[in-house]
Structures are given as C-alpha cells and as structure tokens.
A and B are shown apart, each in its own frame.
Chain A
C-alpha cells in the first residue's frame, strides 16, 4: 500500500512536470519564429507559398488550439511529424538514442571506476601528497567548462597529434535494431574523445565523493576495531569501506547519467556526435517543434525515471532509508 502511494505520487509529479514543461516548451518555440522558412526556398517562394505552408502545418491557428491538437495527438501516442525531416518525431529521437546511450554509458562506467579508484587512493592516505594532489586536481577538473574541455581535447587529441578523429561516429554495427559504434575499431576510436570530455568532470566528482566517504569510514570506530582485530587492509576495503561509500556513488552515477543525456548537448555538438543532445540543439535552431517536444519529453521522463531508480537502489543498499513520495 505504501509502495502504491509512493509510485502514484511519483507518477503524479512526473505528469505535472511534463505538462508544465510541454507548455513552456511549446510557447517558447512558438514565440521564437516560424519554421516554414527552413523548409521552403525563401529565394523562390512567394508570400502566398509561405502562407499556405504555414497553414498546412497548422501554425496559423491560435496557440491554444495548436496545443490542444498536440495533446490530442499525444493521446494517440504521436508527437507529430518532424517539419524538417518528415519522419515521426519520436521515432527520430529513438533513432538517435543509441548514440547517446553508448556515449553516456562509457563515460559513466569510466568515471565510476576511475573516480572510485582515485577516491580510495586519496581517502586511505589522508593528508599525504597523493591526497592533496587528488583534492586539488579534482577542483580544477570540476572547473573546466565542458565546451572548453571538448575544444582542448579536439586540439590536442585530434588536430595536433592526429591520434583520434575530431568528430563523427565512425562505422557502426546494427544490433537489436540500433546502430552501435563501440562494436567496431573505427567506432571505438571515434568514441574516445567525446567519452573523455564527458567522463573527466565526473571522475573528479566521484573521486571527491569516494574520498570523503573513505575518510569518514576510516575514522569510524568499527574500522579501528577491525584493524585492532588484525583484519587485512584488503578485507576492510572490500567488506567495509566500499559498501559504505557505494551509496553516494550510486546516487551520483544515476543522477549524472541522466544529466548526461542533457549535458551531452554541448559535447555532442562539438564532436558532431549524432545523439539526442545534438538533435535537441539542432531542432531548437531549426524550430522543429515536434522534435523539440519529443526530445524534451524523452529527457524528462528518463531523468525522472532514473531518479526513482536511484531512490529504489538507495532503499536496497541502505535499509535505513525510507522512500517517500
């Protein structure tokens, strides 16, 4: 019963979020301009052509009626057709999904592993040079704006050394109906720089969390007791430290993974990585409203769902935690 209440509360919140966001997104895109100019050849089309095209897309209707039509379509599971690409909008978003997922997944896996490792390295030796270095370097790493980091990676990793391609996805392989880059050597090479750009700030974030947790655990009485009992460092690390610091790390991994779906916009744009983030930026520029709405909805649902999953994991990992709506 409690679980039901939690779930229904969450669903209600997600629903509210979607309504508010769709309204703002709808009004926002509408106020910016008319997408028809991206479709017709402005240099040959007459004002009459433009008017007719606007009517055909239903953009001459009052905004509230357009929104109503949008909601009606949504009820039948359709976000409408992309103005630019003439494909169903949600299908278009889904087709870009694998690119973003593989980017974010690799970045978060690397960040979790490297971050935890660095955090443990520093946290088990508080006050040493290694610790100080980790603390300082992570502040720097968290201070680099992601577009600047991406540009520097392009400059050093691609332009100056020629080690990696500067953009694009490389060759892909079809698996479960989606295209994946990481299954080919060429695709992997294309993945390196954008993954690094996404992973580096997260390595720092996770390292700091892991370090703080480790320091706390090391100070805790039970660890001193374990040491006194003569248990090995290894034993303490795997049986006590890791389980204790895993909670905040799981949280941040979940949240950051969701954030990447949105934050990857910048990285995807710079590396010309054809993912959901780049689609969103492009569609906003082109005023392709169906695609913008589909992308926003998708990102919001994913974000909310990930938050919920993180909370559930929390409850599993730490029985003291009670989930609330």
Chain B
C-alpha cells in the first residue's frame, strides 16, 4: 500500500515535470529574445586566441575594444573616449568613466595594461594572431586610472586602428588567465552589452542582457547563437522561423528567403578575392605546354598575366555564381572606400585581344595549368575556379580546376606546390592588403604575409612605406590610391570580385545594420515594435 502510493506520487511528479518541460519549450520567442544562426563557430572563449571573425564576432558581445570601427570603417570611441598622438612615438588614450565589468568591478587603465601585456608576453602560439597588432608597441603604462600611455617603436600613425582589434580583459587576482581556464570557466568577465550564460563548443552560445551597460540598456533580453555551418541549413532555419537572423546567406537563396517573408540586407565586403601567381621560381608547378612537357614559368611575363586577366569573364562570376551579390573587382577594396583608386575599373572579357597578347608573349597555342583554390571557404570559390577554366579555355589555356579544404589549400600553398591559385585578403584598411599581398616578403617585419608568389617590386615597396607613414586623412588615402594605381599596372594579381555579405532576418527584427567586415552581432539588430 505504502509502496504503491509512493510509486503513484513519483509517477505524478514525473508527469508534472514532463508537462513543465513541454510548456517550457513551447514558449514562442518574444520580441526580447533573439535567436541567430551563424556560420561562425566560436573556437574558444579566449578573446585573444584568434583574430578570425569566427571568434571575435561572437565574443564582441561580452568584451569590448578601446576603439570601435563603424560600418564605414571609420574609428569611433569605444572604451576609450578620445586619443591623441602626443609625439611621433607616443599616444595617449582617455578612458570612459563609470564602466563596470560584469562582476561589478570598475574598468581602469590597469585592465588595458594587463590586456596588452597578456597578448605581448604571456600568450604563446597558436594564439599569436593578436601579436601582429601589438608588435609596434614598445611600452604601455597607466599614469592614472583614466589614462593609458603607449610608446611605439618608430612612427605608428595607425595605432588606434590596431587597437580596434583588441578586446579588453579584466585583470584578475591570479596572474594571467590561460586559454584553458577561460574555456572551462562558468563565467566570462567583460564590459560588453551582453553577459555570458552558456557555451557548447561548436553548437551554441547563450547570452543575457547586461542591464548595467554603460551605453544604455541593450535591446535584447536573451541572445542565443546557434552555430550552423551549412549555408543551406541556415537558410532553412530562417525560412522556417527557427531563428530570427541568419548570417551569410548564399546569394542564390535570397529569393527564397524573401518569399518566406524574411528581409535581406547586403553590403560589399571590404575584401578581395583574386588569382595569384608563382613569380619567384623559374618553373611554376602544374604549368606545362599542351602536350604535358614542362615549360619556363610563363607568369613572369607581365603580358601573360595581363592576357589572363583580360580573359576572365567577371560578369559570369558576379551575375551567375553570386547571383548579383558580388562586385567585379579591379583593386583590393570596393571603389569608394578609403584608399581606393577611381582610375581602376573592372573591364569586360576581351578574348581576341587576350589571345593576341598571349601569342605576342610566345604562347600562340596557350598552355596547361592547374588552378588551385579552397572550396567552401569564400562565397563562390569552387565555382569561380570552374568559371575561370571556362573563360581561359577560350584563349587556349587549358585549366584543371582543383578545389580542396582550406587547411589543405594553405598547407600546399605554403609549401610552394602551386603555380596559380585563388586567394583572398581582407583587413581593417586597404593598406593591410597592399602590404600583405604585394610587398616583398620580409619575415622580420611580417610584410608580404600573403605574397606566396614572391612578387617583388622595390619601387612599389618604397611608395607603400611612404604612404603608410602618412597620418590618417585624405593625404594618406590619396597616396594609397596612387600606390594601387602604380602596382596594378604591372598585373601582379588578377582581381576577381568583392563578394557581398548577405544577412537575412525575420519578423522579430526591425532592422539590421550591415558591417563590411562581416560581423554578426545582436548589437546590429533592432527589435521590432511589439
């Protein structure tokens, strides 16, 4: 009797629990809750582990930077309210007052010192990406809690831009926090508009509103990121209302998303996808004549590079592969952004002219190349390899397109196994790409990090150095545009396209402000009036 009664009450309790569970899951998303399907798989909770958007985009809810880059790529005050260049090598940052970390402690200059020290001297590779931004810093000090003074090695006119990449952490009581400790932590302490709630690696990141945020009460009470790497799955999740925002919608899916009642925003990315050549070696891997015999590296002849560039039908890539959500390119950033040249405009394909130029360079019958690239890394990458193969076939250049995963691609490219390949570059400003892709490689300064083809042009190197030493402003932009004009005449790369970032959002979101750096954050979304 007793036993059965207990059993009864136990099963009752179980039933009640089940009802509660079901009810809990049945609550529809309110206007205050935001669910985002993102392609960015947060790899770690350490804000200084990787400079990839994969990490920084999601962590920017929790952590903040001294300086913030707005959607025009202009610098805006973040945790620093103002900054001045006191002397050639000395910068002074004034910090925002009354900012509190999520654990209630006050934000001071000491936290900035701690952050920069952690990156410079504590973290070991592979978390070395951020050291690129602190390399120019000679010393950092905090004369008072509201001021940070930074001494640089030589003149650094773009130090604030470098600092716009660095998340400020709180100085804890127990020395430097390790990446492992941060990953295992149940709480993360930043100053950002949202507080950390839970993280399941590769699956979800859950955030709650930081009611004490210095910038006012954030719009959303709860934010849940769902990591969905398959673009088709993100589209489906948005189309079926499972999420409110989906980032990086494939261009071809835009119509479907619209038909399902979601809105779409897009912006040309501050980046370029291009073809790059092996130029340093006498022979280029994968390049032969039509019968398969090895030939001297044809890409060292600027006429060949020009002919190949003329024979690319960028309109097919932009209109068909990217469904219009791409801009044909002739330089690193889309025309109009700071530091771009108005003289450079993409041309339609001119096959006859290209064929004549190729004959002129000694290749009337063309040659054979293996065109390598990552597949599934950038919008339209794999398809572009094949579209280029179609185009070049028309001037007698037989292409074997080979797409592999991004890490395999990088391994082989780094090992010099490629003759011509598809690459990409993005950055805070256009000179980052000018320096990484085209400057003569130099291990000491880190120049030419993406110049895997060993392009070397000393006149250009000198011009670029001068332009980069110029203070931020119209003079600097003009100098950078002139440098671009000068170097592109030599056809060191074949610019292909600037793809567009395309985001979709459902009825709970009134507006989403796109950022050309491709960030996905709740701060960019405004809730719909309920």
Tell me if chain B binds chain A: yes
1/0 per residue A156-178: CB within 8 Å of B? Answer: 00110010011111110100000
Give residues of chain A (27-51) contacting chain B, Cβ–Cβ below 8 Å. Answer: 32-50
Residue B427 lies at the interface, judged by CB distance under 8 Å to chain A? yes
In the bound complex, residues from chain B placing their C-beta under 8 Å from that of A165 are 236-237, 240, 242
Chain B count of residues within 8 A CB distance of the other chain:
58
Give residues of chain A (260-306) contacting chain B, Cβ–Cβ below 8 Å. Answer: 269-272, 274, 279, 282, 285-287
Chain A residue nearest to B411 in the complex (CB): A33
Interface size class of A (residues with CB under 8 A): 35 or more
The residue among B21, B239, B441, B449 with the most chain A CB atoms within 10 A of its own CB is B449
Instruction: For the complex formed, measure the closest distance between the CB of B246 and the CB atoms of chain A, giving whole angstroms.
Output: 12
Instruction: For the complex formed, measure the closest distance between the CB of B307 and the CB atoms of chain A, giving whole angstroms.
Output: 28
Instruction: Of the listed stretches B5-13, B197-205, B380-388, B480-488, name the one at the interface; the rest are far from the partner chain.
Output: B197-205
Give residues of chain B (217-242) contacting chain A, Cβ–Cβ below 8 Å. Answer: 226, 228-230, 233, 236-237, 239-240, 242
CB pair B406–A168 under 8 Å, yes or no, is no
CB pair A33–B129 under 8 Å, yes or no, is no
In the bound complex, residues from chain B placing their C-beta under 8 Å from that of A270 are 230
Question: What is the CA–CA distance of A196 and B483 in the complex, to the nearest angstrom?
Answer: 60
Residue B529 lies at the interface, judged by CB distance under 8 Å to chain A? no
Chain A residue nearest to B45 in the complex (CB): A86
Give residues of chain A (49-89) contacting chain B, Cβ–Cβ below 8 Å. Answer: 49-50, 52-53, 55-57, 83-87
CB pair A282–B229 under 8 Å, yes or no, is yes
Give residues of chain A (82-105) contacting chain B, Cβ–Cβ below 8 Å. Answer: 83-87, 92, 95
Give residues of chain B (179-210) contacting chain A, Cβ–Cβ below 8 Å. Answer: 179-180, 183, 200-203
Question: What is the CA–CA distance of A167 and B183 in the complex, to the nearest angstrom?
Answer: 27
In the bound complex, residues from chain A placing their C-beta under 8 Å from that of B236 are 154, 158-159, 165-167
In the bound complex, residues from chain A placing their C-beta under 8 Å from that of B432 are 43-44
Instruction: Of the listed stretches B120-128, B275-283, B298-306, name the one at the interface; the rest are far from the partner chain.
Output: B120-128
CB pair A185–B22 under 8 Å, yes or no, is yes
Name B201's contact: one of A83, A87, A185 (CB within 8 Å).
Answer: A87
In the bound complex, residues from chain B placing their C-beta under 8 Å from that of A39 are 43, 50, 126
Instruction: For the complex formed, measure the closest distance between the CB of B262 and the CB atoms of chain A, giving whole angstroms.
Output: 14
Name A184's contact: one of B25, B233, B407, B412 (CB within 8 Å).
Answer: B25
Question: What is the CA–CA distance of A38 and B410 in the complex, to the nearest angstrom?
Answer: 9
In the bound complex, residues from chain B placing their C-beta under 8 Å from that of A159 are 236, 239
CB pair B229–A44 under 8 Å, yes or no, is no
In the bound complex, residues from chain B placing their C-beta under 8 Å from that of A179 are 200
CB pair A272–B233 under 8 Å, yes or no, is yes
Residue B450 lies at the interface, judged by CB distance under 8 Å to chain A? yes
Residue B24 lies at the interface, judged by CB distance under 8 Å to chain A? yes
- With contacts A41-B52, A49-B125 taken as known, whether A34 is within 8 angstroms of B25 at the C-beta atoms is no
In the bound complex, residues from chain B placing their C-beta under 8 Å from that of A162 are 240
Question: What is the CA–CA distance of A154 and B230 in the complex, to the nearest angstrom?
Answer: 14
The residue among B43, B49, B50, B443 with the most chain A CB atoms within 10 A of its own CB is B43
In the bound complex, residues from chain A placing their C-beta under 8 Å from that of B414 are 34, 37, 47, 50
Question: What is the CA–CA distance of A47 and B26 in the complex, to the nearest angstrom?
Answer: 52
Residue B408 lies at the interface, judged by CB distance under 8 Å to chain A? yes
Question: What is the CA–CA distance of A33 and B180 in the complex, to the nearest angstrom?
Answer: 25
Residue A311 lies at the interface, judged by CB distance under 8 Å to chain B? no
CB pair A53–B125 under 8 Å, yes or no, is yes
Name B233's contact: one of A33, A46, A168, A173 (CB within 8 Å).
Answer: A168
CB pair A44–B50 under 8 Å, yes or no, is no
CB pair B128–A43 under 8 Å, yes or no, is no
Instruction: For the complex formed, measure the closest distance between the CB of B510 and the CB atoms of chain A, giving whole angstroms.
Output: 24
Residue B74 lies at the interface, judged by CB distance under 8 Å to chain A? no
Question: What is the CA–CA distance of A118 and B46 in the complex, to the nearest angstrom?
Answer: 54
Question: What is the CA–CA distance of A83 and B44 in the complex, to the nearest angstrom?
Answer: 10
- With contacts A85-B44, A165-B240, A286-B407 taken as known, whether A44 is within 8 angstroms of B233 at the C-beta atoms is no
Residue B81 lies at the interface, judged by CB distance under 8 Å to chain A? no
Name A56's contact: one of B25, B125, B129, B228 (CB within 8 Å).
Answer: B125
Name A86's contact: one of B25, B179, B240, B405 (CB within 8 Å).
Answer: B179
In the bound complex, residues from chain B placing their C-beta under 8 Å from that of A171 are 24-25
Question: What is the CA–CA distance of A83 and B303 in the complex, to the nearest angstrom?
Answer: 44
Residue B426 lies at the interface, judged by CB distance under 8 Å to chain A? yes
In the bound complex, residues from chain A placing their C-beta under 8 Å from that of B180 are 86
CB pair A185–B25 under 8 Å, yes or no, is yes
Question: What is the CA–CA distance of A50 and B132 in the complex, to the nearest angstrom?
Answer: 12
Residue B513 lies at the interface, judged by CB distance under 8 Å to chain A? no
Question: What is the CA–CA distance of A36 and B233 in the complex, to the nearest angstrom?
Answer: 27
Instruction: For the complex formed, measure the closest distance between the CB of A307 and the CB atoms of chain B, giving whole angstroms.
Output: 30
In the bound complex, residues from chain A placing their C-beta under 8 Å from that of B126 are 36, 39-40, 53, 56-57, 83
In the bound complex, residues from chain A placing their C-beta under 8 Å from that of B131 are 49
Question: What is the CA–CA distance of A35 and B22 in the complex, to the nearest angstrom?
Answer: 42
Residue B436 lies at the interface, judged by CB distance under 8 Å to chain A? yes
Question: What is the CA–CA distance of A62 and B334 in the complex, to the nearest angstrom?
Answer: 45
CB pair A45–B449 under 8 Å, yes or no, is yes
Question: What is the CA–CA distance of A46 and B237 in the complex, to the nearest angstrom?
Answer: 38
Chain B residue nearest to A35 in the complex (CB): B407
- With contacts A43-B449, A44-B132, A167-B233 taken as known, whether A187 is within 8 angstroms of B408 at the C-beta atoms is no
Question: What is the CA–CA distance of A287 and B412 in the complex, to the nearest angstrom?
Answer: 14
- With contacts A57-B126, A159-B239, A168-B226 taken as known, whether A33 is within 8 angstroms of B44 at the C-beta atoms is no
CB pair A42–B410 under 8 Å, yes or no, is yes
Question: What is the CA–CA distance of A26 and B392 in the complex, to the nearest angstrom?
Answer: 39
Chain A residue nearest to B183 in the complex (CB): A86
Name B21's contact: one of A37, A166, A183, A282 (CB within 8 Å).
Answer: A183
Residue B370 lies at the interface, judged by CB distance under 8 Å to chain A? no
Question: What is the CA–CA distance of A169 and B200 in the complex, to the nearest angstrom?
Answer: 13
Write 10 A-B pairs (CB below 8 A) sorted by A numbering.
A33-B409, A33-B410, A37-B410, A39-B50, A39-B126, A40-B126, A47-B443, A86-B44, A184-B22, A187-B25
Those 3 A-B pairs whose CB atoms lie nearest each other, nearest first: A166-B236, A33-B411, A37-B410
9 A-B pairs besides A43-B450, A166-B233 with CB distance below 8 A are A38-B406, A40-B125, A42-B410, A44-B449, A46-B446, A57-B126, A84-B43, A86-B49, A286-B405
B interface residues, Cβ below 8 angstroms from A: 18, 21-22, 24-26, 41, 43-44, 46, 49-52, 124-126, 128-129, 131-132, 179-180, 183, 200-203, 226, 228-230, 233, 236-237, 239-240, 242, 405-412, 414, 424-427, 432, 436, 441, 443, 446, 449-450
